[in-house]
């Protein structure tokens, strides 16, 4: 018997709706829900362990999002016909959901918790990542897991000046804004997206528009819970506390931490001094007290340290490195640092440093996207690497982390808006973070801009980026420009903004407090603009405009269009012709079929080789035009004419009767082997179906001689 299903409908307008359904699937999970929009269906489940691990002091939360190929009626690519590691886009969706959910669990809840979201049915008119946050929240709301929700996430696009909630992929391609917003019913907590140089005011309006839609989605979750019946929140063992110990550590450490924070020392010096105070806290307690509650020292010291640093900023407007809230750390930049790359740059801001490289290639080097919900290619892509030495650590490297995927994607979105659409190369940017103390992703944007310009990529405008922070106690607040790593950890907001002199191109924001006012948000955006303009000035001092040409050792690329029917002739049997041509000219040749044309990309360092390759392709596709005159070469002498060559591989017979208007007895009286002569192409011989050329057609026709009349007999 099919169980009773509970359902709620969210009306999006224009005949679109989202349904929330529970009671049919995955009933052994702590909470499960099916979210549907059109034919797109996501199943979200959550399970949390009943007991906590006493050895950890954090929430072991896993958010997993997967798109099943069967959902789109497709087979997985590759040798193993099975879904394997998540794609970058799946990882990015996991991060979007995780960043909104994680702060809403109780600070002392440490039970293993897993949220799984699966795309079970795909609709090409629905972008499922915009539904993942709603699905995750709904299954949590239906469970007994302690969670200060519900929340939801929604995508906002702007098409022809009008905001749209959850636009289709086709609509999004024409939008000048694409942002994802996550929020509770009273507070925005996450923003991420890209835009075409919009103003700070327009961005704030888009966030407000999204929040209104999110409120409706949260009410629908509450209604669904009411239908099912709210479960009583489970009890769990809270963290061990000792108020006497906490007060003792606070009294001892607070003023010391305040003084250290006020000194304006470097990250390493500050860290050593804080560690010394933490170590001294141990001496406040007996061996028996330490044996029983020694594990609490780090926790209570951290609280005292955090409060001291925050109060210093709020009360005296002094930051950990001695700056004022609006100050930007010292910046130095350099381009063309690496001699063998196609473009390179170093961007250093304070104790954060990124080394960026650019590589130029053909369409063969595009990044192929093959997902159930999307197939395509990226001609521009950026990879971000964050090695452990950048923060003075030694730890094993086990593949690309989710953080690296997320930060690289943000920098890619920031820069792709300013790349020219007609740039013929495939472009790869790699950012190697060499030092990190605050926003290496924004350093990547700045380094990437300079490396692209150094490589000769004609950016529409240079882009800079800055990370903003916020400290607030409810009554007072301070917006911080160019935050340090510690300020990110101790603060209430991490807000990254990138853009040109004319507007924002990308953003990423995480807010850790409830009830952030739009006034504070707008102040942060305006302060970020001032910071971006300062950093942009440093970039343009280093490299004012893009290099006019790619570097001498970088490949040059030329595109040649040929009729589709000649593609096979250029490639040759088994690729024989094109391989030989590449070997001979030291070039790389790629051919793509687009509509009725073959697009031939010729890539090489040596211009002579490129020119020779172009000529060879043009020779293959050469077709004489009837009535046109051509300069040809005599390549063979026959008794009945001469074989002439238009271009290598394209020849024709010049018949002896077409050499001159008068009778020709001997071909060599008119042409010889190796001669270059002009001929006119007459067309295909109707009898032989072969090309017919004439030399005499270019010569003056002799006057006709009248025939003498026979004399009459007298």
Percent of the chain with pLDDT strictly greater than 70: 98
CATH of residue 637's domain is 2.40.50.140
Rounded to two decimals, the pTM is 0.86
| Residue 280 shares a structural domain with residue 342 | no
Regarding whether 289 and 433 lie in a shared domain, the answer is no
* Model pLDDT for residues 558-582, shown as the tens digit of each residue: 888 888 888 888 888 888 889 998 9
Give residue 713's pLDDT band: very low, low, confident or very high (50, 70, 90).
low
Mean pLDDT of 432-440: 92
233 in a structural domain: no
* DSSP 8-state symbol, 314: H
Would 550 be classed as within a structural domain? Answer: no
- Strands in 597-604's sheet, in edge-to-edge order, are 556-563, 597-604, 587-594
Dist CA 413 CA 444 (whole Å):
12
Q: Is residue 322 part of a domain?
A: no
Contact 647, 619 (CB under 8 A): yes
Dihedral angle sign, alpha carbons of residues 320, 324, 325, 328: negative
Do 193 and 260 fall within a single domain? no
Residue 333: predicted pLDDT: 96
Q: Which residues are annotated as a binding site for Mg(2+)?
A: 488, 494
How would DSSP label each residue in 587-633? EEEEEEEETTEEEEEEEES-HHHHHHHHHHHHHHT----TT-EEEEE
Q: How many CA atoms within 13 Å lie on the side-chain side of 37?
A: 27
What are 277's two structure tokens?
């105070």
Q: What is the mean pLDDT of residues 698-709?
A: 73
Q: Domain end: 183, 199, 228, which one?
A: 228
Indicate if 189 and 300 belong to the same structural domain: no
3-state class of 361 per DSSP? strand
Whether residues 414 and 388 share a domain: the answer is: yes
Please name every residue paired with 22 in a beta bridge, in sequence order, or none if there are none.
Answer: 6
* Domain match, 485 and 604 both: no
18-76, pLDDT tens digit by residue? 999 999 999 999 999 999 999 999 999 999 999 988 778 889 999 999 999 999 999 98
Whether 680 has a pLDDT exceeding 80, the answer reads: yes
Q: Based on the domain organization, do 388 and 520 belong to the same domain?
A: yes
Q: Is the pLDDT of residue 393 over 70?
A: yes
Determine, yes or no, domain membership for 708. no
Domain count, the chain: 5
Evaluate whether residue 294 is within a structural domain. Answer: yes
Question: Within this chain, do residues 612 and 635 fall inside the same structural domain, yes or no?
Answer: no
In a domain, 706, yes or no: no
Residues 215, 343 within the same domain: no
Residues 531 and 464: beta-carbon distance below 8 Å: no
Give the pLDDT band (50/70/90) at residue 707: low
User: Are 134 and 88 part of one and the same domain?
Assistant: yes
Q: Could you list the residue range(s) of the whole structural domain that residue 674 is in?
A: 628-698
Give mean pLDDT, residues 408-422: 94
Which pLDDT does position 265 carry in this prediction? Answer: 86
Calpha distance 662→665 (Å, rounded) = 10
Cα gap 477→468, rounded to integer Å: 13
Report the candidate in 405, 467, 499, 488 with the shortest Cα–Cα distance to residue 98. Answer: 405
Relative to beta strand 464-472, strand 493-500 is antiparallel
| Spatial strand order in the sheet of 31-37 | 6-13, 16-22, 31-37, 40-52, 111-121, 61-67
The rounded mean pLDDT for the chain is 91
The mean pLDDT value for 359-386 works out to 91
Q: Minimal CA–CA distance to 696: which of 645, 638, 636, 642?
A: 642
Q: What tokens were used for 116? A: 């799984």
- Report pLDDT for 714: 47
**DSSP alpha helix (H) spans, 349-505:** 402-416, 440-454, 485-490
Task: Write the secondary structure of 256-309 as one string of H (helix), E (strand) and C (coil).
Answer: HHHHHHHCCCCHHHHHHHHHHHHHHHHHHCCHHHHHHHHHHHHHHHHHHHHHHH
Question: β-strands 650-655, 641-647: how paired?
Answer: antiparallel
Last residue within a domain, chosen from 542, 577, 592: 542
Q: Is 551 within a domain? A: no
- If asked whether residues 285 and 362 sit together in one domain, one would say no
604: domain CATH number? 3.30.1370.10
Phi-psi region of 317 (alpha: psi -120 to 50; beta: other; left: phi over 0): left
Annotate 492-510 with b (16+ C-beta within 10 A) or e (fewer). bbbbbbbbbeebbbbbbbb
- What sign results for the dihedral spanned by CA atoms 185, 187, 188, 189? negative
Flag whether 457 is in a domain.
yes
Domain boundary (602, 620, 638) is at 620
Strands 61-67 and 111-121: parallel
What element of type H or E holds 518? helix 518-542
**Which element (helix H / strand E) includes 541?**
helix 518-542
- pLDDT band of residue 536 (cuts 50, 70, 90) is very high
pLDDT at residue number 709:
59
- pLDDT, mean of residues 431-456: 95
Of 589, 561, 471, which Cα lies nearest the Cα of 520? 471
User: Which residues are known binding-site members?
Assistant: 488, 494
pLDDT at 353 over 60: yes
Query: 3-class SS at 71?
Result: helix
Residue 425: burial class (beta carbons within 10 Å; 0-12, 13-18, 19+): buried
| Residue 297 sits in the same domain as residue 410 | no
pLDDT tens readout for residues 451-478:
999 999 999 999 999 999 999 887 888 9
Q: Please give the distance of CA 608 from its chain centroid, rounded to a whole number.
A: 36
* Exposure letters 43-72 (e unless 16+ CB within 10 A, then b): bbbbbbeeebeeeeeebebebbbbbbbebb
Q: Do residues 379 and 457 make contact, with C-beta atoms less than 8 angstroms apart?
A: no
User: N- to C-terminal Cα distance for the chain?
Assistant: 128
Q: What is the CATH number of the domain that holds 491?
A: 3.30.230.70
State how far Cα 246 lies from the chain centre. Answer: 45
């Amino acid at each position: 018997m099919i169980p009773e299903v509970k359902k709620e409908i969210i009306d999006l307008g224009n005949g679109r709706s989202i349904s929330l359904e529970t009671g049919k699937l995955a009933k052994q999970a702590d909470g499960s829900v099916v979210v549907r929009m059109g034919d797109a269906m996501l199943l979200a489940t959550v399970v949390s362990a009943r007991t906590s691990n006493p050895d950890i002091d954090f929430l072991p939360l896993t958010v997993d999002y997967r798109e099943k190929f069967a959902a789109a009626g497709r087979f997985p690519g590759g040798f193993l016909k099975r879904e394997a590691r998540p794609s970058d886009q799946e990882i990015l969706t996991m991060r979007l959901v995780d960043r909104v959910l994680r702060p809403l669990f109780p600070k002392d809840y440490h039970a293993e918790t897993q949220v799984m979201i699966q795309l079970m049915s795909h609709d090409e008119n629905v972008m499922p990542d915009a539904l993942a946050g709603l699905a995750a929240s709904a299954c949590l709301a239906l469970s007994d897991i302690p969670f200060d929700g519900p929340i939801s996430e929604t995508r906002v696009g702007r098409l022809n000046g009008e905001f749209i909630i959850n636009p289709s992929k086709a609509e999004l391609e024409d939008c000048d804004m694409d942002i994802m917003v996550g929020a509770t019913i009273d507070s925005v907590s996450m923003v991420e997206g890209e835009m075409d140089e919009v103003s700070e005011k327009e961005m704030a309006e888009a966030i407000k528009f999204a929040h209104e839609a999110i409120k409706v989605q949260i009410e629908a979750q509450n209604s669904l819970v009411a239908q099912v019946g709210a479960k009583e929140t489970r009890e769990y063992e809270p963290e061990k506390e000792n108020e006497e110990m906490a007060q003792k550590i606070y009294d001892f450490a607070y003023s010391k931490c305040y003084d250290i924070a006020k000194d304006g020392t470097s990250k390493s010096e500050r860290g050593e001094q804080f560690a010394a105070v933490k170590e001294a806290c141990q001496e406040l307690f007996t061996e028996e007290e330490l044996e029983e509650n020694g594990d609490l020292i780090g926790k209570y010291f951290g609280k005292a340290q955090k409060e001291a640093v925050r109060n210093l900023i709020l009360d005296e407007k002094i930051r950990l490195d001695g700056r004022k809230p609006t100050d930007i750390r010292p910046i130095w930049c350099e381009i063309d640092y690496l001699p063998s790359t196609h473009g390179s740059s170093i961007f250093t801001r304070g104790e954060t440093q990124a080394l960026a490289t650019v590589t130029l290639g053909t369409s063969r080097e595009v990044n192929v996207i093959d997902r159930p919900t999307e197939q395509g290619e990226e001609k521009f892509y950026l990879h971000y690497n964050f090695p452990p030495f950048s923060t003075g650590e030694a730890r094993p490297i086990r593949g690309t982390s989710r953080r690296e995927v997320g930060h690289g994607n943000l920098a890619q979105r920031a820069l792709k808006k300013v790349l020219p659409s007609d740039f013929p190369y495939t472009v790869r940017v790699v950012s190697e973070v060499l030092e990190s103390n605050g926003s290496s992703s924004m350093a990547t944007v700045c380094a990437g801009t300079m490396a692209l310009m150094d490589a000769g990529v004609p950016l529409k405008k240079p882009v800079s980026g800055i990370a903003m922070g916020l400290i607030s106690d409810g009554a007072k607040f301070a917006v911080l420009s160019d935050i340090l790593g510690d300020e990110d950890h101790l603060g209430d907001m991490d807000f990254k903004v990138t853009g040109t002199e004319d507007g924002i191109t990308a953003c990423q924001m995480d807010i850790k407090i409830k009830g952030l006012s739009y006034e504070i948000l707008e102040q942060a955006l305006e302060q970020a603009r001032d910071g971006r303009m300062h950093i942009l000035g440093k970039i343009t001092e280093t490299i004012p405009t893009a290099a006019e040409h790619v570097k001498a050792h970088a490949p040059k690329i030329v595109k040649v269009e040929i009729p589709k029917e000649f593609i096979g002739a250029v490639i040759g049997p088994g690729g024989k012709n094109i391989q030989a041509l590449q070997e001979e000219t030291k070039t790389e040749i790629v051919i793509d079929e687009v509509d009725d044309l073959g697009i031939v990309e010729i890539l090489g360092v040596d211009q002579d080789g490129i020119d020779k390759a172009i000529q060879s392709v043009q020779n293959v596709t050469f077709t004489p035009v009837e009535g046109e005159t051509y300069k040809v070469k005599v390549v063979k002498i026959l008794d009945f004419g001469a074989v002439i060559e238009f271009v290598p591989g394209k020849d024709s017979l010049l018949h002896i009767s077409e050499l001159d208007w008068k009778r020709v007895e001997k071909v060599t009286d008119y042409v010889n082997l190796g001669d270059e002569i002009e001929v006119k192409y007459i067309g295909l011989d109707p009898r032989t179906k072969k090309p017919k050329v004439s030399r005499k057609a270019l010569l003056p026709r002799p006057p006709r001689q009248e025939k003498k009349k026979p004399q009459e007999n007298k």
